[in-house]
Amino acid sequence: MRGMSTEGLTTREAAARLDESERLVRLWCQQGRFPHARRVEHPRGDYWVIPAGDIKGFVKPKPGPAPKAKPEQSSGKKKGKK
């Protein structure tokens, strides 16, 4: 979008730097993976501004569903009445 603030990167610019799609970068913004990214409300549609510092050193999450939490393993002793 023209006329946007220069204090950060657009999702398009961030996507180009990360070699990913704009849609995925927007998803990461929604998930909070860029800690200082902010959503800007605009009459023509909201957009994200991502500080360059959030892109630098960003580690892409592994594709696929998030790993499930492992259940606590018991020590083999049954709990109950003595």
Q: How many beta carbons lie within 10 A of that of residue 50, not counting itself?
A: 24
Domain boundaries, the chain: 11-55
Q: Hey, what amino acid is at 57? A: G
Query: pLDDT tens digits, residue range 10-32?
Result: 999 999 999 999 999 999 999 99
> Which H or E element spans position 29?
helix 22-31
Of the chain, the percentage scoring pLDDT greater than 70 comes to 76
Query: What integer is the mean pLDDT of 55-75?
Result: 76
Tokens of 81: 């009445």
pTM: 0.68
2-32 per-residue burial string, b: 16 or more CB within 10 A, e: under 16: eeeeeebbbbeebbeeeeeeeebbbebbeee
* 73 — pLDDT class (breaks 50, 70, 90): low
Q: What is the DSSP secondary-structure string of 44-76?
A: T--EEEB-HHHHTT--PPPSSSPPPPPPPPP-S
* 78 — pLDDT class (breaks 50, 70, 90): low
